[in-house]
Chains A and B, each alone.
Chain A
Amino acid sequence: MIEIDQLSKHYRAPDGRITEVLKSISLQVPQANITAVVGPSGAGKSTLAKCISLLEQPSAGSIRVNGSDLSRLDGEALRQARRSIGTVFQSSALLQRKTAWENIALPLHYLGVVDRDIAARVGELLDSVGLSHKAKAYPGQLSGGQRQRIGIARALALRPSVLLADEATSGLDPEATVTVLDLLKKLRDDYKLAIVLITHEMDAVRQAADAVAEIRDGQIVQYGVVKALLAQPDSLLGQRLFPLAAQASDAELLLQLSYRTDVPVASDWISRLSQQFGLRIDLLGAHVEQVNGLQAGRLQVGIHFQHERVPLARLLSQLEQLGLVASVAGSVLPLREAV
């Protein structure tokens, strides 16, 4: 596991002014877990990535991998420490003049592993990322997704316990993004890796992350476990994960609904509710998708009472039985959320 504790980083400009880029960041990523760090450009994600991959030394705080503090090392000890953290870069950063095989073998060569063992390990890694047939290909002959998978294989060559994926899916097409994220999830499960996924794409978080931390102005402003956020989609982070744009409506009652995580939502809940209470239900907005194998959703509906007005408590209770947690929307204006 990786534990980041009170990590700060500042830079001193030539005129003596100090710029604080990271301010007391604390984050823990246990084994077999993918924690996403999201945030806008300039929030400090890249600096955090450099500190985690030990390319930058923090100004204060510590980075512990399996209990050992790696933040104050230099020389040979720093080289050794870097091997315990696999790093995947945004553009895969494969060496263009080396084949896929040679790129993956690079950390093993640096370590002085004998050729026979290198061949066995590289073969194993190529197999695990599904690219055994591309061993002799140069980066220029691979697609973006394939290059990123080779980058992941290289990061895993020395069997690290922590993997840092720094914007690993940025710039990839949707299909390649899914492949890379599926691979990360497989590696998390197969090798019990602690994976830090630095990204600005909420899609990647929804598809792969177990937990998510939002960084702004060098600070973690929100943190949540994705499964818990499914149950609280109206929380600030939940709203970022499940953005919902709803239409305006002249309905008598506006309800915000979210899927319960403990019971499945009845697929015919709208018709059942309409028939039972004589309602007209307008679906004003919906965000429904599978997250980590669970159905997650946020909806906004407008309710028109055709006959008599049903007591609100009864309506909410019935919705809950159908698998939906409901609350009355405070306003008839459409909800607008930006990620």
Chain B
Amino acid sequence: MSVSVISQDTPWPEIPALMLPALGETALMVVIVMLFVVTFGGIVGVVLFNTSACGLFPHRGINRVLSWIVNMGRSLPFLVLMAAIIPFTFWLTGTTIGIPAAVVPMIAAGIPFFGRLVDNALRELPGEVTAVGLVCGGSRWQIIRSAQLSEALPAIVAAVTLNLISMIEYSAIAGTIGAGGIGYLAVVYGYQRFDNHIMIATIVVLIALIQTVQFLGDRLVTALRHPQGTSL
């Protein structure tokens, strides 16, 4: 007995009507997630760096525990993490499907990733940056803000770009739990209904989106690295 697959491709002219709202949902998810990730991941990165031996308030215990938590958060593939924290997500949002349910695991995956990137960005700085802040009589917060973060800004922007791309990717994976957005479109139409047009359109949009984010991120990093001006 042969199985025939009946493909019902959405006509091309109708694709923008499906794609644009999906893009909007993806953007909404990613923006919400990035707000949390940059804020809390940034804090994690700053604490990780400054509790290390070359930081402002070295504390081996805190550093090791935080580092272990960050590594644990980064060791789980997103799909596994998403499934593993379903009880927590349900407790927090009252649902296990849709955008709210997708945002929670995305934040949980993004914070340790961004935290480690910020930690690395701060480690790349010359040791004198913190020393300058100290000999100038700065408080911890003043040194973190106006010396460490300010000097590491290009690397942090590069980290944001990288994280943003990961979050767009995660938002697509989150489509499997009905999170909406481009991923949902690809899963429901492209995968379950064998809609090749939607699948192609999704791939094209995702590639264009990632390329645009990377291009803009790179330009911003270059501009920040050479504040005196450069031929962009």
Contact = CB atoms under 8 A, between A and B. Distances in A.
Contacts, number: 71
Tell me the dominant secondary structure on chain B's binding face.
Answer: helix
A53 B228 contact: no
A295 interface: no
Nearest to A87: B135
A271 B128 CA distance: 56
A82 B151 CA distance: 22
A107 B137 contact: yes
Interface stretch (A95-103, A179-187, A190-198, A209-217): A95-103
A296 to B, nearest CB: 35
B132 to A, nearest CB: 5
Contacts of B147: 95, 106
A91 interface: yes
A63 interface: no
Interface string B209-232: 000000000000000101110000
Nearest to A110: B138
A89 B126 CA distance: 12
Interface residues of B, number: 22
Contacts of B150: 95, 97-98
A97 B154 CA distance: 10
B52 to A, nearest CB: 15
B134 interface: yes
Contacts of B129: 93, 95
A93 B146 contact: no
Interface in B106-136: 126, 128-129, 131-136
Of the candidates B128, B134, B136, B228, the one having the most CB atoms from chain A within 10 angstroms of its own CB is B136
A82 B224 CA distance: 31
B142 interface: yes
A70 B136 CA distance: 16
Interface in A63-111: 79-80, 82-83, 85-87, 89, 91, 93, 95-98, 106-107, 109-111
Contacts of A154: 136
Given A98-B150, A140-B226, A141-B228, A93 B136 contact: no
A86 B136 CA distance: 8
Nearest to A83: B137
Contacts of A97: 150-151, 153, 224, 227
Contacts of A89: 128, 131-132
A55 B135 contact: yes
B139 A93 contact: no
A93 B126 contact: yes
Interface in A157-181: 157-158
20 contacts: A54-B135, A55-B131, A55-B135, A80-B137, A82-B134, A82-B135, A82-B137, A83-B137, A86-B135, A93-B126, A95-B132, A95-B150, A97-B151, A97-B153, A106-B138, A106-B146, A107-B137, A110-B133, A110-B139, A140-B228
